[in-house]
């Protein structure tokens, strides 16, 4: 729900609509842009620093709370929320420093112009007439005046954070991007070179010996070689933040055979009463079922349950089961059978009284009922449905006459679904659902078929307290006797358990890579970063097991350890060693033909090597080989051995086409070069962040 709607509901306004110019200056005095002294970063409780600017933990928590309050479930998980607000604060600080260097700012009048501009305003959704599409500027200004008069601090804060600050930041970002884009330049020489390169074609002869001709096991790679290669190419392998790894063993808390038998006995004890009840919905509400009762009908094709062939063969009142459905024991009961269409088309007007997702009451039920009754009466009296829908409906279909085109069974909430499928075409009426009151008209129905209402008494097979306690005790005993990594490995071997490695664990992870989430996931990550290599954990509960771990590596920011690098780096080092072996033993001779004889290969020829595309037909992507193909100094001569991506090559250039023979328009090339530079302006924040000095202490607090 939008901020404006929230304010509308709380204030009881029928039509609220946004800020007088006087309030802009009033709010801007306290908007506290990031990076300014006395703003949101003025406390001594340091969550982090960005280029010397402190991010205060208390203010950060206030931002988290505000975001959760404003967006509810849409704000995401706690992990996503912390990550998102942190990224927003970091970006705001870095960007503001650049804006200050350039003297960029947004004045009060400029902010007002943006807020109330029909094309730019962030208020268009709240203050656009649905019938005419006109942005109601006067209504928007009047709404702000209302807020100022109310002197409601909460409303002012919501407007400030939800609209004013984002508008200021977006305007500054656009100005900054415009400056960068304005600096885009494609000199004549670059256009001409690109034009010539695009048309360049070479013919080459070559000899190739693939790396695959030497088996991998014949080439051993040491840790020193891994590290030497990684240091040489450190920009590819350096890590921006510390990571750690663990090995772990798990003690499962999955249900035992005895637990499964107990669940089966429980559901069998209820079977007779379930079969006898005349009110399945009430009965399931009383005894509890792990499968929610859908109080409507579905055709067989729409049913997702196991054993539906047997279930749909039941007579009304008959039961089937218990049967095993995934990790549940279930009994199905046929409640009713009807002939229903498989899809229907309706139009409706919704008067919302509640949001079932958040549990928020939007308006009193009596107010909603009175309004929908008035709408029904007006339509019966000849009022235009579309006009009333556009004016009063709270549904997303209001701008298209409230129409839901043909939709299948089970897609809508129960009461809405039942009216749409059960009533004949042309029926009109009021229906109450958890969203509020609907005035519905059935417009069309297709493909009648048999539909079934089925009640499911379902009980999950869960681990008993005894099963969980046994797993916890075993894990605790393992941890107590594993004083170091050697003992950890020995104890695992005795229990026939294979220690499993995790993926890289980062300081702000809320789950453990390779294991997953669980009650203790964040606690475990905190333990990993409080400990040292070789430390053994107490049991942590993650998912359906207790986990005991040993810290196996601590990889500081920068170049990781050889063990952490091996999977990435080993193929490159192996190819380097293979290349040397091939060159030393197989590339003999002064001519291409002599090299081919020495290598036990043949001379190949390609007449369509393109400078603009480093792909060689029959070989693949080979940048170094393509580079050699356009070396005029190699025309009629043999290159030195080239260690490429897939093997070692020797190249002889046969011909390079006249670079003047181009087909691409010079102006099109220039525009393409300029466009590439302009697009890079939108990625400037990534470069600024990479160059920034960022100290992140979040892991100490969350």
pLDDT for position 45: 84
- Residue 575, token pair as written in the block: 């190819």
Buried (b) or exposed (e) across 456-482, using 16+ Cβ within 10 A?
A: bbbbebbbeeebbeebeebbeebbeeb
58 by DSSP, 3-state: which?
helix
Nearest 10 degrees: Cα torsion 399, 402, 407, 411:
100
Relative orientation angle of helices 465-481 and 485-494, to the nearest 10 degrees: 140
Rounded CA-CA distance 640/56 in Å is 60
Tokens of 549: 């771990």
* 433/410 Cα distance (integer angstroms): 14
Strands (E), 463-522: 500-501
Q: What is the pLDDT of residue 495?
A: 96
For residue 504, report the phi and psi dihedrals to the nearest 5 degrees. -60, 130
Quick one: 7 exposed, middle or buried, by C-beta within 10 A (0-12, 13-18, 19+)? buried
Of the candidates 462, 415, 468, 420, the residue with the CA atom closest to the CA atom of residue 444: 420
Distance in angstroms (rounded) separating the CA atoms of residues 540 and 478: 12
The domain limits of the chain are 3-182, 201-238+563-656, 243-254+464-558, 260-460
Instruction: Give the residue from 27, 87, 98 showing the smallest Cα distance to 60.
Output: 87
Q: For residue range 553-585, what is the model confidence (pLDDT) as tens digits?
A: 898 888 888 888 898 999 999 999 999 999 999
Bridge partner residues of 649 (DSSP): 208, 642
Closest C-alpha among 318, 342, 330, 521 to residue 421: 342
Q: Could you say which DSSP state residue 635 is in? A: B
Q: How far is the C-alpha of 463 from the C-alpha of 461, rounded, in Å? A: 7
Structure tokens at 402: 């409230």
> How far apart are alpha carbons 457 and 332 in whole angstroms?
6
Q: Do the bridges between strand 328-352 and strand 319-325 make them parallel or antiparallel, or are there none, so unpaired?
A: antiparallel
Note the pLDDT of residue 36: 37
Q: Beta-carbon neighbour count of residue 178 at 10 Å?
A: 12
Q: What CATH number is given for 260-460 in this structure?
A: 3.10.50.40
φ and ψ of 550, to 5 deg = -125, 135
With bands split at pLDDT 50, 70 and 90, how would you rate the model's confidence at 663? low
Domain 243-254+464-558 fold is: Chitinase A; domain 3 (3.10.50)
Q: Are 243-254+464-558 and 260-460 in the same CATH fold? A: yes
Dist CA 207 CA 602 (whole Å): 6
Which pLDDT tens digit goes with each residue over 600-614? 999 999 998 988 888
Give yes or no for a contact between 16 and 136, defined as CB atoms under 8 angstroms apart: no
Structure confidence at residue 102 as a pLDDT band (50, 70, 90): very high
695 pLDDT tier (thresholds 50, 70, 90): very high
Predicted pLDDT at 68: 83
Least confident of 159-168, 448-457, 521-530: 159-168
Give the span between the Cα atoms of 198 and 195, in whole angstroms.
5
Average pLDDT over residues 79-103: 93
The end-to-end CA distance of the chain, in Å, is: 28
**Range scoring the smallest mean pLDDT among 43-47, 201-205, 311-315, 672-676:** 43-47
Nearest to 10 by CA among 209, 228, 156: 156
What's the whole-model pTM score?
Answer: 0.65
Gap between the Cα atoms of 421 and 431, Å rounded: 13
Scanning the structure block, which residue is given the tokens 């009994």? 331
Task: Give the H or E element holding residue 205.
Answer: strand 201-210
- Per-residue pLDDT at 23: 38
Q: Are 372 and 379 in contact (CB under 8 A)?
A: no
Contact 588, 596 (CB under 8 A): no
In three-state secondary structure terms, 7 is helix
Residue 478: name the closest of 248, 256, 245 by CA.
Answer: 248
Higher pLDDT, 11 or 164: 164
Per-residue pLDDT tens for 129-157?
A: 766 778 888 888 888 777 767 777 777 77
Task: Give the model confidence (pLDDT) of 32-56 as tens digits.
Answer: 333 333 333 334 589 999 999 999 9
- Quick check: helix, strand or coil at residue 371? helix
Under a CB-based contact definition with an 8 Å cutoff, are residues 19 and 140 in contact? yes
483 to 260, 477, 525, 529, 534: CA distances (angstroms): 36, 11, 20, 19, 9
The alpha carbon of residue 271 and the mean position of all alpha carbons in its chain are separated, in whole angstroms, by 44
């Amino acid at each position: 729900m939008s901020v404006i709607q929230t304010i509308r509901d709380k204030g009881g306004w029928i039509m609220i609509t946004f800020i007088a110019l006087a309030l802009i200056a009033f709010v801007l005095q306290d908007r506290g842009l990031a990076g300014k002294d006395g703003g949101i970063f003025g406390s001594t409780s340091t969550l982090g620093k960005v280029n010397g600017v402190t991010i205060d933990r208390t203010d950060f928590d206030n931002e988290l709370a505000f975001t959760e309050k404003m967006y509810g479930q849409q704000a995401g998980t706690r992990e996503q929320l912390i990550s998102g607000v942190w990224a927003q604060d970091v970006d705001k600080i870095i960007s503001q420093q650049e804006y200050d260097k350039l003297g960029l700012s947004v004045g009060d009048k400029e902010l007002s112009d943006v807020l109330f501009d029909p094309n730019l305003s962030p208020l268009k959704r709240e203050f656009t007439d649905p019938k005419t599409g006109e942005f109601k500027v006067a209504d928007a200004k009047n709404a702000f005046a209302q807020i100022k008069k109310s002197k409601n601090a909460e409303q002012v804060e919501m407007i400030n954070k939800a609209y004013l600050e984002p508008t200021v930041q977006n305007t500054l970002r656009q100005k900054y991007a415009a400056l960068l884009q304005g600096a885009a330049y494609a000199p004549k020489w670059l256009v001409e070179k690109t034009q010539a390169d695009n048309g360049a074609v070479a013919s080459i002869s070559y000899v190739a010996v693939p790396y695959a001709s030497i088996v991998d096991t014949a080439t051993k790679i040491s840790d020193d070689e891994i590290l030497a290669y990684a240091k040489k190419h450190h920009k590819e392998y350096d890590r921006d933040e510390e990571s750690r790894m663990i090995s772990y063993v798990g003690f499962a808390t999955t249900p035992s055979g005895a637990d499964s038998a107990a669940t089966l006995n429980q559901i069998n004890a209820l079977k007779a009463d379930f079969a006898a009840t005349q009110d399945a919905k009430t009965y399931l509400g009383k005894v509890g079922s792990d499968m929610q009762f859908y109080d409507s009908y579905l055709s067989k094709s729409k049913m997702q349950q196991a054993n539906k062939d047997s279930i749909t063969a039941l007579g009304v009142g008959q039961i089937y089961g218990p049967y095993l459905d995934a990790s549940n024991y279930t009994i199905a009961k046929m409640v009713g059978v009807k002939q229903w269409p498989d899809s229907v088309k309706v139009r409706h007007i919704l008067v919302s009284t509640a949001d079932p997702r958040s549990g928020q009451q939007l308006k009193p039920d009596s107010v909603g009922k009175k309004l929908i009754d008035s709408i029904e009466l007006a339509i019966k009296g000849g009022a235009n449905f579309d006009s009333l829908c556009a004016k009063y409906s709270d549904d997303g279909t209001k701008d298209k006459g409230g129409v839901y085109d043909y939709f299948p069974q089970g897609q809508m909430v129960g009461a809405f679904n039942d009216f749409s499928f059960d009533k004949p075409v042309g029926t009109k009426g009021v229906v109450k659902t958890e969203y509020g009151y609907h005035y519905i008209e059935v417009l069309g129905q297709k493909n009648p078929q048999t539909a079934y209402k089925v009640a499911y008494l379902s009980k999950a097979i869960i681990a008993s307290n005894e099963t969980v306690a046994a797993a916890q005790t075993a894990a605790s005993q393992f941890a107590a006797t594993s004083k170091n990594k050697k003992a950890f490995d020995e104890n695992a071997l005795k229990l026939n358990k294979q220690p499993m490695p995790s993926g890289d664990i980062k300081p702000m992870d809320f789950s453990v890579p390779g294991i997953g989430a669980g009650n203790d996931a964040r606690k475990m990550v905190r333990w990993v970063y409080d400990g040292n290599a070789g430390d053994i954990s107490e049991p942590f509960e993650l998912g359906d097991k207790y986990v005991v771990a040993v810290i196996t590596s601590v990889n500081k920011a920068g170049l990781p350890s050889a063990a952490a690098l091996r999977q990435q780096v080993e193929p490159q080092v192996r190819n380097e060693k293979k290349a040397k072996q091939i060159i030393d033993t197989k590339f003999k001779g002064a001519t291409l033909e002599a090299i081919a004889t020495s290598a036990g290969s043949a001379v190949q020829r390609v007449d369509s090597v393109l400078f603009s595309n480093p792909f060689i037909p029959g070989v693949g992507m080979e940048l170094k080989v393509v580079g050699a193909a356009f070396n005029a100094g190699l025309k009629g001569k043999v290159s030195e051995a080239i260690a490429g991506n897939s093997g070692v090559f020797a190249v002889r250039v046969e011909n390079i086409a006249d670079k003047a023979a181009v087909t691409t328009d010079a102006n099109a090339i220039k525009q393409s070069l300029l466009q590439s530079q302009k697009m890079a302006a939108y990625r400037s924040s990534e470069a600024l962040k990479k160059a920034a000095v960022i100290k992140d202490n979040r892991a100490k607090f969350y």
